[in-house]
Amino acid sequence: MSLKLNVPTLTNSQEAQNLTEAIATVDPTAKVEVDVESKTITIESPDSNKPVASEESIKQAITATGHSLKE
């Protein structure tokens, strides 16, 4: 599974680290790349046929940190 999300409330590297840690709680195997400048997060699961966490679970982990997502 590859998922790219727009997080308009992302402003600095500390928030990026917090988001990475939050995603790791629902999918510890995911590769997470956060781009603060473009305000995007890219999440890739190693096994795209059987991801550990659903897209919805990942989105909930992000919003639980106080950030919003832009569709």
- The one-letter amino acid code at 52 reads V
In this predicted model, what pLDDT tens digit does every residue of 11-68 receive, in sequence order?
999 999 999 999 999 999 999 999 999 999 999 988 767 778 899 999 999 999 999 9
Range of the domain at 23: 2-64
Q: Is residue 58 part of a domain?
A: yes
pLDDT in the model for residue 1? 75
Provide the number of structural domains found in the chain.
Answer: 1
Q: Is residue 69 part of a domain?
A: no
Q: Is residue 14 part of a domain?
A: yes
CATH number at residue 34: 3.30.70.100
Question: Sign of the C-alpha dihedral, residues 46, 47, 48, 52?
Answer: negative
SS (H, E, C) 28-71: CCCEEEEECCCCEEEEECCCCCCCCCCHHHHHHHHHHCCCCCEC
- The one-letter amino acid code at 38 reads S
pTM for this model (two decimals): 0.90
In the numeric block, the tokens 């500390």 are attached to: 14
